[in-house]
Copies of this chain bind each other. A is one copy, B any other.
């Protein structure tokens, strides 16, 4: 249990509370949706433990928990693409946050060097099949 945030209450409490009482999962994480503050495009999906969430709120700079490296991660520390948080929102059951960010450095939020991790679109309207081909293209916000 994190001591950085109050203990989450029941469902009704989580939904109506004016307090931030994040409901961390069994892995100690909440999910974080990251969008570009200007274009609105989704840049990446990441995870925060209590420390990363508290640091993000306190400093206004995006911090995450890397599940693959199992470590706290200040985005941009090695790449230079620091994310400044313009706005943070929390969802109804407080197990997900949405941050709108301005990206520094090269502007890449994806480790592949692209602005967004969502650089492929999926064709719709017929069931997925062996010959379904993704399209590589840049997303737009809406």
Please list the residues of chain A having a beta carbon within 8 angstroms of any beta carbon in chain B.
Answer: 4-6, 15, 17-20, 31, 33, 35-42, 44-45, 53-54, 57-58, 60, 85, 87-93, 96-98, 100, 110-112, 117-128, 130, 132-134, 136, 139, 141-142
Q: How far is the CA of A33 from the CA of B121 in the complex (A)?
A: 14
Q: How far is the CA of A35 from the CA of B100 in the complex (A)?
A: 13
**Which chain B positions have C-beta within 8 A of A41?**
40
With A37-B142, A39-B142 in contact, is A132–B87 under 8 Å at CB?
A: no
CB pair A58 B127 closer than 8 Å? yes
**Which chain B positions have C-beta within 8 A of A53?**
128
CB pair A110 B92 closer than 8 Å? yes
With A15-B112, A20-B134, A142-B35 in contact, is A128–B4 under 8 Å at CB?
A: yes
